[in-house]
């Protein structure tokens, strides 16, 4: 709740004015039955046409004033609701940007999307209805009871019983449905996750002809969500008929008691007052139904707000210093792993165990191993995407956790395993590496990444549009553009995480040659499944089940490392070892 209140601070004025104008509107609504009673008693009863017209004019004025107050209240309520939801959404998005990869992995991408969209929309609707109705409805119910009490104290007891009965119905239904709404949002996460997974992997699904299976899986998840929604919907649907039953019983009792009082010569009650009492009972019905629906919506919003708060309460496990480490480096190494271990959050065993490796400035280090051996996990430690859980890792002589985040990102250029481009242009994607890079520097990076030829072939060159995910480029083109993006930054450490898998051997060889000729001579880590891509590296680290199985040059490993030799020979037999 604190996050919502903080978001509402900017809209304090609107949050006060919206319910204030709604209560003024309610005040005019409470006056209407009294005017109607006067029309019946003084106008129709006395056959005074002038009184009917005058009081009819008063009703019209009350209606216009109520309309003006209602529109004003809804305007302020919408401002506060939409503005606070936008602020909360921005805060959530910024907080997610601060979370480490471990926290994002734990929460899950699908649930983060749901919480940023559907959940915050629920909060917005809840705030809007709260400002409009949560004070107005109790005010009308209490006001209608007081007005009935002023008209006839005995008949007002019927009102009290009806209010108590409807309040009990609303309370029981809310108590039953509130926890179910939280469960529904969790089910929605699973449907969103399945949808996202299918849309992102639709090519693989079609390639294996698994459309029917995935459709069935989605239908099962959707059916569970539908079942839960129907169950809670059936319970919520009882509210209107039950409250209508109570109110109609109340109206019957009011008519019975009012008729008896009107017929009694000792009673001052007139037919107009009976009509007013029925109007007040109807007002109570309408407002209690509104309040019940508002409470349903607020219950949903409250459940959604708790889910959003869970993410906002998740503190990043990584903390970065404000200033760069002082003093001279302790050694000449660019990157130094010393008995490094890594265990992911919630994992039962280490993904990396006792890894030691030093890389000097300007060196090229190859990392190879079977699938799941920990290659990507190892290089992800250098830019501190994850924190080591054992040993030490230093970058240019200082512990990696002693570097400020901005400095660390400038010092390490990363080409991820999956090429990812963003909607915009080729230029806007490349300048992620360095926003102030000149066109000449962009072309230099494209030349080194072997991407200059196909970019020149585009009608707009650097200004060629890039669609979301780079889907208007081939896999090899996307990989080369992501390599160029990393090269634009001129980072002293460059990580290529299996980033040439979609390239042919000639392009791969030209890329490796261009990397060795880079003028700033970065330390390069090349992760690859192919020995041909790393055989000319200064040193090659061979990983097996998260442990170092060998370290040395290609020739040394061929002679002394059975794991490396087996990988090389299996590829050579397939023709994959050609340079």
CA 298 → CA 9, 126, 137, 185, 470, distances in Å? 20, 5, 14, 14, 41
Assign 3-state DSSP to the chain and report helix, strand, coil percentages, each to 5: 65, 10, 25
Q: How far is CA 551 from the centre of its chain?
A: 43
Q: How many CB atoms lie within 10 A of CB 373?
A: 21
Q: Print the SS3 string covering 180-221.
A: HHHHHHHHHHHHHHHHHHHHHCHHHHHHCCCHHHHHHHHHHH
CA 332/CA 523 separation, integer angstroms: 12
Could you tell me which residues are beta bridge partners of residue 340?
Answer: 355
Run means of pLDDT, 10 residues per run, the chain, 579 residues: 86 91 88 82 74 84 90 93 93 88 78 86 90 84 85 80 81 79 78 81 83 89 90 82 82 80 67 82 80 78 86 85 71 88 85 92 91 89 91 91 89 88 92 89 92 91 89 88 92 88 82 89 90 89 91 92 90 54
CA distance 376 to 415: 11
> Locate tokens 């079609």: which residue?
206
Contact between residue 39 and residue 272 where contact means Cβ atoms under 8 Å apart: yes
Instruction: Please give the radius of gyration of the chain, using alpha carbons only, rounded to the nearest integer.
Output: 35
**Cα–Cα distance between 218 and 237 in angstroms, integer?**
27
213 exposure class (CB count in 10 Å sphere: 0-12, 13-18, 19+) = exposed
Question: Which residues fall within 8 angstroms of residue 134, CB to CB, at 6 or more apart?
Answer: 19, 291, 294, 298
Q: Please name which of 287, 293, 258 lies closest in space to residue 272, comparing C-alpha atoms.
A: 258
Cβ–Cβ < 8 Å for 122, 255: no
Q: Any residues with CB less than 8 A from the CB of 319 and at least 6 apart, and which?
A: none
On whether the CB atoms of residues 127 and 81 are closer than 8 A, the answer is yes
Distances (CA, A) of 189 to 4, 107, 120, 518: 22, 11, 14, 46
How far, in Å, CA of 526 to CA of 380, rounded?
12
Q: How many CB atoms lie within 10 A of CB 57?
A: 10
**Residue 15 and residue 5: Cα distance in Å, rounded?**
11
Q: Is 357 helix (H, G, I), strand (E, B) or coil?
A: strand
How far apart CA 278 and CA 32 sit, in angstroms, is 12
Phi, psi (degrees; rounded to nearest 5) at 99:
-70, 145
Provide the phi-psi class of 450: left if phi over 0, else alpha when psi is between -120 and 50, else beta.
left
Residues pairing with 364 in the sheet: 524
All domains in the chain, ordered by first residue? 2-313 (1.20.1560.10), 335-573 (3.40.50.300)
The DSSP bridge pattern shows strands 523-527 and 364-369 to be parallel
CA distance 130 to 11: 14
Residues 358, 361, 366, 369: is their CA dihedral positive or negative?
Answer: positive
Name 515's Cβ contacts closer than 8 Å, sequence gap at least 6: 364, 448, 494, 524
- The two three-digit tokens of residue 471, written as one number: 């889907």
Q: Which helix (H) or strand (E) holds 485?
A: helix 475-488
**CB-CB contact of 501 with 479 (8 Å):** yes
Q: Where would I find the beta strands (DSSP E) of 88-244? A: none
Query: Treating both helix axes as pointing N-terminal to C-terminal, what angle do 49-98 and 12-38 enclose, rounded to 10 degrees?
Result: 160
Give SS3 for 139: helix
Alpha carbon 133 to chain centroid distance? 28
- Report the alpha-carbon distance of residue 504 to residue 579 in Å, rounded: 11
- Count Cα atoms within 13 angstroms, Cβ side, for 527: 24
Q: Is 553 helix (H, G, I), strand (E, B) or coil?
A: coil
pTM over 0.85: no
pLDDT at 573: 62
User: Quick one: pLDDT at residue 579?
Assistant: 42
Kindly list the strands in the beta sheet with 547-552, ordered across the sheet, starting from the edge strand earlier in the chain: 412-415, 493-497, 523-527, 364-369, 539-544, 547-552
pLDDT of residue 166: 78
Q: Give the angle 364-366-369 at the CA atoms, nearest 5°.
A: 175
């Amino acid at each position: 709740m604190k996050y919502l209140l903080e978001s509402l601070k900017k809209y304090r004025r609107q949050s006060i004015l919206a319910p204030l104008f709604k209560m003024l509107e309610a005040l005019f609504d409470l006056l209407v039955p009294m005017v109607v009673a006067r029309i019946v008693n003084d106008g129709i009863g006395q056959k005074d046409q002038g009184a009917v017209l005058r009081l009819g004019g008063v009703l019209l004025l009350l209606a216009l004033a109520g309309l003006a107050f209602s529109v004003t209240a809804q305007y302020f309520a919408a401002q506060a609701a939409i503005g606070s939801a936008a602020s909360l959404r921005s805060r959530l998005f910024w907080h997610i940007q601060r979370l480490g990869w471990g926290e994002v992995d734990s929460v899950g991408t699908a649930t983060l999307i749901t919480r940023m969209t559907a959940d915050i929309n629920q909060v917005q609707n809840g705030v809007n209805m709260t400002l409009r109705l949560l004070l107005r409805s109790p005010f009308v119910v209490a006001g209608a009871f007081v007005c009935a009490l002023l008209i006839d104290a005995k008949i007002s007891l019927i009102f009290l019983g009806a209010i108590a009965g409807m309040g009990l119905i609303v309370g029981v239904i809310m108590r039953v449905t509130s926890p179910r709404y939280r469960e529904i949002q969790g089910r929605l996460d699973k449907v969103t996750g399945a949808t996202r997974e299918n849309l992102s992997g639709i090519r693989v699904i079609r390639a294996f002809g698994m459309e029917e299976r995935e459709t069935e899986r989605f239908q099962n998840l959707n059916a569970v969500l539908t079942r839960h929604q129907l169950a809670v919907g059936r319970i919520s649907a009882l509210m209107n008929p039950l409250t209508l039953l109570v109110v109609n019983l109340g109206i019957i009792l009011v008519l019975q008691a009012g008729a008896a009082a009107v017929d009694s010569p000792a009673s001052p009650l007139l037919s107009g007052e009976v009509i007013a009492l029925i109007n007040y009972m109807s007002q109570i019905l309408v407002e209690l139904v509104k309040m019940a629906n508002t409470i349903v919506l607020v219950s949903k919003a409250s459940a959604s707000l708790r889910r959003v708060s869970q993410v906002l309460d998740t503190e990043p496990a990584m903390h970065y210093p404000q200033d760069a480490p002082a003093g001279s480096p302790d050694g000449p190494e660019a990157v130094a792993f010393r008995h490094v271990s890594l265990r992911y959050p919630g994992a039962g065993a280490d993904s990396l165990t006792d890894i030691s490796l030093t890389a000097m400035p300007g060196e090229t280090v190859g990392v190879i191993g079977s699938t799941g051996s920990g290659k990507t996990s190892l290089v992800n430690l250098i830019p501190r995407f994850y924190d080591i859980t054992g040993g030490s890792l230093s970058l240019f002589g200082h512990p990696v956790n002693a570097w400020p985040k901005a400095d660390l990102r400038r010092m390490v250029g990363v080409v991820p395993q999956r090429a990812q481009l963003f909607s915009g242009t080729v230029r806007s994607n490349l300048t992620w590496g360095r926003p102030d890079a000149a066109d000449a520097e962009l072309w230099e990076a494209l030349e080194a990444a072997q991407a200059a030829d196909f970019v020149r072939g585009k009608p707009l060159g650097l200004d060629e549009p890039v669609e979301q995910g780079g889907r208007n480029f081939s896999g090899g083109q996307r990989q080369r553009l992501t390599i160029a993006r990393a090269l634009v930054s001129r980072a002293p450490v460059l990580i290529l995480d299996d980033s040439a898998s979609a390239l042919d051997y000639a392009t791969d060889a030209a890329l490796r040659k261009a990397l060795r000729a880079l003028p700033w001579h970065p330390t390069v880590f090349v992760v690859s499944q192919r020995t041909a891509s790393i055989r000319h590296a200064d040193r090659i680290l061979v990983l097996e089940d998260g442990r170092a199985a060998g370290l040395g040059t290609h020739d040394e490993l061929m002679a002394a490392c059975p794991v490396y030799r087996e990988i090389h020979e299996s590829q050579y037999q397939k023709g994959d070892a050609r340079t």
